[in-house]
Amino acid sequence: MLVERPLRPSGPPPPPGEDDGIDRLAAYVHIPFCARVCPYCDFAVVAGKDESTDRYFAALGAEIEMEPSAGSLASVFIGGGTPSRVSRDLLAGVVERLAGRFGLADDAEISLEANPEDWTPEVAAGLVAAGVNRVSFGVQSFDDAVLGELGRLHTAGDARVVVGMARAAGFASVSLDLIFGSPLESVESWRHTVESAIALEPDHVSTYALTVERGTELSRMVAAGAPAPDPDDQADKYQLARALLTEVGFGHYEVSNYARPGHECIYNLNTWAQGDYLAFGLGAHGHRAGVRRRNVRRLEAYLEMLEDGRRPEAGTESITGWDAELERVFLGLRMRSGVAAGAVGDVLASDPDGQALISAKKLEVTEGRICVLDPLFTDSVARVVLGLKPVETGRVAR
Ligand SMILES: C[S@@+](CC[C@H](N)C(=O)[O-])C[C@H]1O[C@@H](n2cnc3c(N)ncnc32)[C@H](O)[C@@H]1O
Ligand code: SF4
């Protein structure tokens, strides 16, 4: 039986329909500091450790200098954690260091994640002066009761003013992150959230199903009997957001992401196209020339390793042959325009589970492309893809 599954956020985001041949370099920079840890969050974050900020940025600078030169960067994503908590000078220093070490393309996208409670006209202007041109606000909901349930520190009122401030400061692109399907949220509350987001006229909106991640406070609460998000409710809310956003002209370019034309997130497009991205900071993951690497997640270990002149790596993995093909399709499936079929396409079309999805009109494998027709089935298709048996990969799709 085919089972619909809620959609979770992808890891930290080719122009639409152009997944083939993307070879522009990106960089991810992780800032782990948060005012407090939200109950659902399983990212590499620390709360109550602001006194380590200067030490952290010194370590981050050292890590950037250790990375072999790589060509200029087309996009930079400063994510978290809460980058908007740290000073404009420290963030500007990171952008300068990346520019000095690798170079920045003239049209480079430089994104930063911000929490609404940190945002002021001065913060916005300082970030623009530092070269940041895209901001992604973690709004999550425009319902204060839902924000309380999510453990957020801002109100709907705080979120209503941030887009205007970002526009006034000169940001080229403004994005809002929304979370749907927390147990207290009604369908009407979610409708209000999406309509409120639309009314602020952002360039980009991400909608994520609340996911109970292992090891989080939320998972402990659910294990102790608290209500868990309901997959049917989340599927309804996913479809509602899709209808509301596309109706007013947002392009649904990726499972969880919507953009006005020309405002798709370049950093994420590169990731989904299996492009190369350098990664710096606590718990950061990078991908370069077929090798994936990940950094340690414990703050003290990260700082000590860099202070000792060592790279803060927790592990590396070389992805080649069939595994690289599976990964390319697994990532590219998220694009609404689909992914080049390559060697995986024929195997998927002849696999019984693949055929069941094709017969149910959830999946299409035609004209050299694999396309998920119903985005709610992206995870189901991905599971089938990851289970496919290897074949000779003389044919390369990108
Ligand atoms: C890691 S957060 C960093 C941004 C910022 N600190 C914030 O919280 O707004 C990036 C986004 O991931 C989403 N997110 C994080 N954990 C999630 C979860 N368990 N379920 C659904 N969405 C989640 C939220 O929408 C959030 O804005
Ligand atoms: S969701 Fe954002 S603010 Fe909350 S703990 Fe995670 S990174 Fe920090």
Measured in whole angstroms, how far is the alpha carbon of residue 377 from the centre of its chain? 19
Ligand 1 nearest atom to the CA of residue 114, by list position: 5
pLDDT of residue 389: 87
How many angstroms separate the alpha carbon of residue 138 from the centre of ligand 1?
Answer: 7
Q: Which residue owns the Cα nearest ligand 1 atom 9?
A: 138
pLDDT of residue 24: 84
Global pTM? 0.92
Name 46's bridge partners: 33
Q: Is 324 close to ligand 2, i.e. is its CB under 6 Å away?
A: no
Percentage with pLDDT > 70 across the chain: 92
Sequence-separated (6 or more) residues with CB below 8 Å from residue 357 = 2, 363, 377, 380, 381, 384
**Dihedral, 173, 267, 95, 175 alpha carbons, nearest 10:** 30
Name 288's bridge partners: 291
Q: Which residue owns the Cα nearest ligand 2 atom 2?
A: 81
pLDDT of residue 391: 65
Cβ atoms of 228 and 212 within 8 Å: the answer is yes
Q: How far apart are CA 13 and CA 33, in angstroms?
A: 21
Q: Is 115 close to ligand 1, i.e. is its CB under 6 Å away?
A: yes
Name 112's bridge partners: 78, 135
pLDDT of residue 366: 87
Q: Is 301 close to ligand 2, i.e. is its CB under 6 Å away?
A: no
**pLDDT tens digits, residue range 222-275?**
999 999 999 999 999 999 999 999 999 999 999 999 999 999 999 999 999 999
Low-confidence ranges of the chain (pLDDT < 50): 1-22, 393-398
Ligand 1 nearest atom to the CA of residue 213, by list position: 19
pLDDT of residue 2: 33
Cβ atoms of 200 and 248 within 8 Å: the answer is no
Q: Which domains does the chain have, with CATH numbers?
A: 25-272 (3.20.20.70), 321-386 (no CATH)
Q: How far apart are CA 222 and CA 235, in angstroms?
A: 20
pLDDT of residue 74: 97
Q: Is 81 close to ligand 2, i.e. is its CB under 6 Å away?
A: yes
3-class SS at 302? helix
pLDDT of residue 241: 98
DSSP annotation of 21 = T
How many angstroms separate the alpha carbon of residue 349 from the centre of ligand 2?
Answer: 40
Q: Which residue owns the Cα nearest ligand 2 atom 4?
A: 38
How many angstroms separate the alpha carbon of residue 343 from the centre of ligand 1?
Answer: 35
How many angstroms separate the alpha carbon of residue 140 from the centre of ligand 1?
Answer: 8
DSSP characters over 155-190 = -HHHHHHHHHHHHHHT-SEEEEEEEE--TT--HHHH
Q: Is 230 close to ligand 1, i.e. is its CB under 6 Å away?
A: no
